[in-house]
Structure 1
């Protein structure tokens, strides 16, 4: 698997008035450039050029690149939260819902490596305060929903251990798999579905009560 970045064609300059669509284009470009050049190396000019805007026009959508990063992080958490809500509504035993939540989290990371990297693996000093604010508002909500299912499974006698430690350990395992695969693309990884299944089989075999 190659770690090389495939260049993306720049958009021609487009007319004004595209609203949310234009903001989405800017965020997609910022996401690519933050990963390719690093947050510190990314500039408003580079992002504006990527979407065919002048820097002045880009400032009509975002105050600065810090705001763009915060919006990317917020969007990542909100997408994960929405996926969790769908799983929480299923009529399944808590340990089944728990495993499906972890699988969905890992799958999201594999399918959106740039957004995941920026949300979980990047904490530039310039954006630290805002990124922490985003995590407090939406990231904590995401983890609380997950931890509540762990608590339910422990209370029902389906999983053994301290609920807080179990929740943190499962999340750490999923995060470790995603972050390693994102940051070490040159390693000869097994198929991602096989990796996910093997990791979770081992985790739940140790946690489930017989």
Structure 2
């Protein structure tokens, strides 16, 4: 008779499976990874993962949701650690780049991959929404402080596009190591100057 699993048992196994999946998805691409390979990675029977996840898409959604939440947490922590709107903006930008280069596989799974029917995975939708919010909260503070003027959502998207572009190019080897960090500072500075009240 199978052992009855506690909530802790389930959570621990899901976490181990997601860790293995993230590594394999990054190394081989999600399409090349099978449930059997994931089970083998953990030394369990091929059917065991199905006790915790419906299928591979469910695992991929969980991996990506975890990535978005960790990313958002890093940016939220940076935001909370700074004393004023200007330094918050700089801290968030620094945290963005740091996360991307410390967790490049996670970053790519988050942003370079689109899952069909993402709306079927509410945890993923919520995590992605949280990450998106982390891109605009610091901009709202800059607008409220009178440092820049404009629609915080639109400006946040511009800043995010600049950050993602610079990071993506460096991760792809199209820019020398360290370029994204300095390029992002210059781009954000130029955007901010153009958005100053009365500019």
TM-score, length-scaled by structure 2: 0.80
Greater displacement, 136-145 / 150-159: 136-145
Unaligned runs of 5+ in 2: none
In structure 2, the residue matched to 1:29 is 20
In structure 1, the residue matched to 2:46 is 55
In structure 1, the residue matched to 2:93 is 102
RMSD over aligned CA atoms reads: 2.6
| Aligned residues of 1:98 and 1:146 also touching (Cα < 8 A) | no
Give the Å deviation of 1:77: 1.6
In structure 2, the residue matched to 1:8 is none
Name the CA shift for 1:130/1:113 in 2 (closer, same or farther; >3 Å): farther
Total equivalences in the alignment: 189
| Aligned residues of 2:69 and 2:127 also touching (Cα < 8 A) | yes
Q: Give the Cα–Cα distance (whole angstroms) in 1 for the partners of residues 148 and 124 of structure 2.
A: 28
Name the CA shift for 1:200/1:71 in 2 (closer, same or farther; >3 Å): same
TM-score, length-scaled by structure 1: 0.76
Q: How does 1:44-83 map to 2 (within 5 A)?
A: 44-83=35-74
Q: Choose from 186, 191, 194 the match for 1:201.
A: 186
| 1:98-120 deviation line (CA, Å, top 9, x unaligned) | 22112212221111122111111
Give the Å deviation of 1:171: 0.6
Unaligned runs of 5+ in 1: 1-15
Q: Give the Cα–Cα distance (whole angstroms) in 2 for the partners of residues 129 and 39 of structure 1.
A: 19
| Aligned residues of 2:80 and 2:88 also touching (Cα < 8 A) | no
Q: Give the Cα–Cα distance (whole angstroms) in 2 for the partners of residues 84 and 37 of structure 1.
A: 29
- Residue 148 (structure 1) aligned with residue 134 (structure 2): no
Q: Choose from 163, 188, 197 the match for 2:152.
A: 163
Of structures 1 and 2, the one with the larger relative CO (CA 8 A, separation 6+) is 1
| Aligned residues of 1:161 and 1:207 also touching (Cα < 8 A) | no
| Aligned residues of 2:78 and 2:95 also touching (Cα < 8 A) | no
| 1:73-130 deviation line (CA, Å, top 9, x unaligned) | 11112112222332332352212112211221222111112211111111243x5444
